A = this chain, B = another copy of it.
Amino acid sequence: MKGFGPADAAFRRALRDVLGSDNVLEDPADCWPYGYDNSRRQARPEAVGFATEAGQVRDVVRLCNEAHVPLVARGRGTGTTGAAVPVAGGLVLSLERMDRILELAPDDRLIVVEPGAINRAVQEAAATAGFFWPPDPSSADYCTVGGNLAHNSAGPRAVKYGTPRENTLGLRAVTGAGEPIRAGVRTTKGVVGYDLTRLIIGSEGTLAVITEATLRLTPLPEDRRAIRALYTDIGSAAAAIARVMAQPVTPSALEYIGGLGLDLVRDSPGVRVPPDARALLLIEVDGPAGCVADAARAVAAAAKGAGLLDIEVGGRGEDAADLWAARKALSPALRGLAPKKVNEDVAVPVSRLPAFVEGVDGLSARYRIPIVNFGHAGNGNIHTNLMVDPQESGQVERAERCLSDLFNLVLALGGTLSGEHGVGLEKRAFVTREIDPVTLEVMRRVKRELDPNDILNPGKVLPEPVGPA
């Protein structure tokens, strides 16, 4: 299956009938911009449709299902794994015009939104009632809730507040067979029928197209405090992470930057990192105004120990922002240094962080590729950046072998290949290393029931079966 095939003209006409001519792009030049994501991969869809309401999504999916046309649901294309790239051609169904906030119910701690709503817009709407939705990927200003749900995208706050799976009450969605389903509830407890909500979350548009989400809200904390701790080595920092996670105050962020990352930002304005520091922890606590100072003291006490070079507990506002200077300076520095960097987001159990970082250092040396580690240490979720220079002979090939070894290392440590970016195209070939063939076969059967003709985002998430299915 690739492209519209013989159904071409009739299919295009039917598509325009459902969406309206103004909501369909067919010129290849117009279609190109809807074929990329932040993985820098790109493929041209044969058409792009814009849905404005759920009934259109249902009708478009039915059209595609009948004509066996691939359909890739798309938010704003901020994903990093190629999950939104239409590698099988077909139709990209953009949900960016379905961006309404349908209901804000603060007494019930929930907000109902369309999938194209921007994360930031949801946060702003919730804030008017004193709430927030915990998932906060770094692209929150322009990524959509639908994309967040498709990838189970989290961000730094997940260490305290969880991922979309813990913060979504229910969904409306359309299966690959064009069936409109309603999963979940409007309450924080509910156990009638099977949990299709979380089955669809994280499935990267391969099981159903989300048309509405009921999100669970959390009250905005009254206050917050930032803590910055510098260590002589990763082992000391990792021990501190484990101590912080073992005491009763769960931080609202627990971010890590490794030695090479610190080298990159040492000279940036406001950063103040001494040369012997090889690991930095940025910790945030939040809560009631009367408690955050105590909470910060408890966390800072846990962060202290062997290898600590310096610890600062910030005040509010600008003072706290200062402590985050190193983290904020890092991403631009990385982009400037290695435009072709490979950004992985593996996760390992917190106790295995020292072994992980030691292992990564070994791989970096063996394959002669600088590797910058930073990320959400409280979840063991480390963004591992291979600083690949395509000009340097053989480095791309060495990077591939390095990545392969890196994944083996992560799995040997009891970790997972993706904490929050997802599989998409980037990690599809490696899924069989994490998921055994029997479990994978069960997932394939589930996929078949929700998307019998394999039209929804074909070629993603689950690897092709080996041999006869």
Residues of A bordering B, CB below 8 Å = 105-110, 129-130, 151-152, 154, 158-159, 162-163, 165-166, 175, 179-183, 185-196, 198-199, 201-203, 207, 218-222, 242, 245-250, 287-288, 290-291, 294-295, 298, 347-352, 376, 379-381, 414-423, 427, 431, 434-436, 438-443, 445-450, 461-462
Is B440 a contact partner of A193 (Cβ separation < 8 A)?
yes
Query: CB within 8 A of A107: which of B106, B242, B461?
Result: B242
Contact of A109 among B245, B249, B288 (CB under 8 A): B245
Residue numbers in B under 8 Å from A418 (CB-CB): 190-192
Q: Are B294 and A196 in contact (CB under 8 A)?
A: no
Bound: A376/B187 CA distance, A? 12
Report B-chain residues with C-beta under 8 Å of the C-beta of A439.
179, 181-183, 193, 196
A249 nearest in chain B by CB position: B288
- With CB as the reference atom, state the residue of chain B lying closest to A195: B198
A130 near B189 with CB under 8 A, answer no
A147 vs chain B, min Cβ distance (A):
13
Contact residues in B for A423 (Cβ distance below 8 Å): 191-193
Residues of B within 8 A of A440 (CB): 193
Q: Is B288 a contact of A294 with CB atoms below 8 Å? A: yes
Which B residues lie within 8 Å of A195 (CB)? 165, 198-199, 201-203
Q: Could you say which residues of chain B place their CB within 8 Å of the CB of A175?
A: 442
Cβ-defined contact, B108 with A350, below 8 A: yes
* Min CB gap A125→B, angstroms: 15
A353 (CB) vs chain B CBs: closest residue: B107
- A416 contacts B187, CB within 8 Å? yes
Whether B191 pairs with A419 at a CB distance below 8 angstroms is yes
Q: A130 to B186, Cβ gap below 8 A?
A: no
Shortest beta-carbon distance from A383 to chain B in Å: 12
Asked if A151 and B191 make an inter-chain contact with CB atoms under 8 angstroms apart, the answer reads: yes
What are the residues of chain B within 8 A of A247 when measuring CB–CB? 130, 219
Number of identical protomers: 2
**Which residue of the partner chain B has the closest CB to A376?**
B189
Which of B189, B416, B442, B446 is within 8 Å of A190, CB to CB?
B416
CB-defined contacts of A298 to chain B, threshold 8 Å? 288
Residues on B with beta carbons closer than 8 Å to the beta carbon of A381: 187, 189
* Contacting pair B181 A438 (CB below 8 A): yes
Chain B residues in 8 Å Cβ range of A417: 192
Q: Are B415 and A187 in contact (CB under 8 A)?
A: yes
* B427 contacts A192, C-beta separation under 8 Å: yes
Contact check, B188 vs A379: say whether CB atoms are below 8 A apart: yes
Query: In the complex, how many angstroms separate the beta carbon of A340 from the nearest chain B beta carbon?
Result: 24
Whether B202 lies near A194 (C-beta < 8 A) is yes
Question: A185 — which chain B residues lie within 8 A by C-beta?
Answer: 347, 415-416
User: In the complex, A186 Cα to B159 Cα: how many Å?
Assistant: 14
In the complex, the chain B residue whose C-beta lies closest to that of A220 is B248
A422 CB contacts on chain B under 8 angstroms: 191-192
Which residues of chain B have C-beta atoms less than 8 A from A290's C-beta? 291, 294
4 more A-B residue pairs beyond the given contacts A191-B202, A192-B434, with a C-beta to C-beta distance below 8 A: A107-B351, A189-B381, A218-B250, A288-B291
A174 shortest CB reach to chain B, Å: 10
A203: chain B residues at CB < 8 Å are 194-195
Question: Which residues of B have CB within 8 Å of A462?
Answer: 193
- Asked whether B416 lies within 8 Å of A188 as measured between CB atoms, the reply is no
Check A442/B181 contact, CB under 8 A, given A191-B419, A291-B294, A416-B192: yes
A-B CB contact pairs (8 Å), 24 listed? A107-B246, A108-B350, A109-B246, A159-B188, A163-B189, A181-B436, A182-B435, A186-B414, A186-B416, A187-B347, A187-B380, A187-B415, A188-B380, A191-B202, A191-B416, A191-B421, A192-B417, A192-B422, A194-B203, A194-B447, A195-B202, A196-B442, A196-B443, A288-B294
Given A195-B202, A201-B195, A418-B191, are A107 and B245 also a contact pair (CB < 8 Å)? Answer: yes
Out of B159, B165, B248, name the residue touching A219 (CB < 8 Å): B248
Residue of B105, B129, B130, B162 near A349 (CB, 8 A) is B105
A291 to B296, CA, bound (A): 12
Contact of A248 among B106, B221, B376, B416 (CB under 8 A): B221
Chain B's closest residue to A163 (CB) is B189
Minimal Cβ-Cβ distance residue in B for A290: B294
Instruction: Give bound CA distance, A442 to B196, whole Å.
Output: 9
Considering only CB atoms, which chain B residue lies closest to A183 in the complex? Answer: B439
Q: For the complex, what is the distance from the CA of A186 to the CA of B297, rounded to whole Å? A: 29
Cα distance A419–B192 in the bound complex, in angstroms: 8
